[in-house]
Amino acid sequence: MCGRPRNPDDSHDASHDTGATMSRDRLRSLLLATTGLTYVLLLIGIYTAASGAGLTCAGRWPLCDGAVFGLFPANWPSFIEWFHRLIAMIAGFVVIGATYGAWRWQDGRRIRLAMTTALALYPVQALLGAGTVLDYSLFYLTAHFLTALTIFGSLVLATLWYVADIASIRRVRSALFVAVGLFPVLVALSPGTLVDHTAAVQAIYYAIGLALFATLLAAAVWSGLLEATASRLSRVRLLAGVGAATLAAQLLLGRYVYTDLIQLLDATAMAAAFLIAVAAAWLTARIEPAAASPQAQ
């Protein structure tokens, strides 16, 4: 029995589809790797700042205090500073690659904007990092942290928008319940609460805080993608977004809990973020999962 005559263009179309799929998979992996590496870089940066390791290089910046013109660490603090620089350099190249991929392999304007924002802020972040070494002042420490958080948030958003096909009401609900569950851990590790805020404790504290921030962003993005399927999701989106912004303010305040007033403001911001997350989780618990799924952005 004879089959359909083979179209010479079939092999070309199949090759094109395979290449497109590989490009999409490559970009997905690249975005996930970029976001994960930036998360690790933030934690190393927090540990570096909290331990004062960068100050070991202040006298010979951009070198340090080790052998061969300061190119090798002289002690543990200078090793931390050099390791931080190494990871920052690697992350910078990965951000460049992911931004290139975002412009080449997909057409979503939001994703391109988010990645371009992260890339544009990266050299600014490097200059601010130099400022924290040369002038360990409140201005540089604050600007450095806020820029890092903006870069991380942009990467999280780009990644979430790119994997929009995984959004579901069940995922929104799970993200919010995870967020609510993480808050007590964050409270227990808060400055002036149960443990001394050593450099290691601060790194753990911000590991949880940044994960919580990303989780709230995920709930906000997924709710926005699905809000046509359930009316309450527009309110969930708003609450999760406000909760993420409130938590960002709290994480910034947490770096400067030196007075009773700042500690009160820090606790207030954390309580507000927690109540917002609880309200959003309560709303999603009353929504029946919908069969509809969002279209890829």
Beta strand ranges found along 171-238 (DSSP E):
none
Instruction: Answer whether 222's CB lies under 8 Å from 172's CB.
Output: yes
Stated length of the chain: 297
- Round to whole Å and give the CA distance between 48 and 39: 14
Instruction: Answer whether 236's CB lies under 8 Å from 219's CB.
Output: yes
Kindly state the tokens that stand for 243. Answer: 């909760």
- Round to whole Å and give the CA distance between 111 and 224: 15
- Round to whole Å and give the CA distance between 217 and 245: 9
292 pLDDT band, cuts 50/70/90, is very low
pLDDT digits (tens, 9 = 90+) for 55-87: 777 767 777 776 666 667 778 888 888 889 899
pTM of the model: 0.87
- Round to whole Å and give the CA distance between 55 and 57: 5
Half-sphere exposure of 99 (CA within 13 A, CB side): 18
Amino acid at 52: G
Q: Which one is predicted more confidently, 137 or 242?
A: 242
Kindly report the CATH number that applies to the domain delimited by 164-297: 1.20.120
pLDDT digits (tens, 9 = 90+) for 208-239: 999 999 999 999 999 999 988 888 899 999 99
pLDDT at 270: 92
- Round to whole Å and give the CA distance between 169 and 227: 9
Q: Where in the chain is the domain with CATH 1.20.120?
A: 164-297
pLDDT digits (tens, 9 = 90+) for 168-177: 999 999 999 9
From residue 164, give the alpha-carbon distance in Å to each of 88, 94, 105. 28, 22, 16
262 pLDDT band, cuts 50/70/90, is confident
pLDDT at 194: 80
88 pLDDT band, cuts 50/70/90, is very high
Q: Number of H helices and number of E strands within the chain?
A: 9, 0
Mean pLDDT (the chain, rounded): 85
Three-state DSSP state, 64: coil
SS3 content of the chain, % helix, strand, coil (to 5): 80, 0, 20
Instruction: Answer whether 149's CB lies under 8 Å from 74's CB.
Output: no
Task: Look at residues 192, 205, 212, 195 and name the one whose alpha carbon lies nearest to residue 257.
Answer: 192
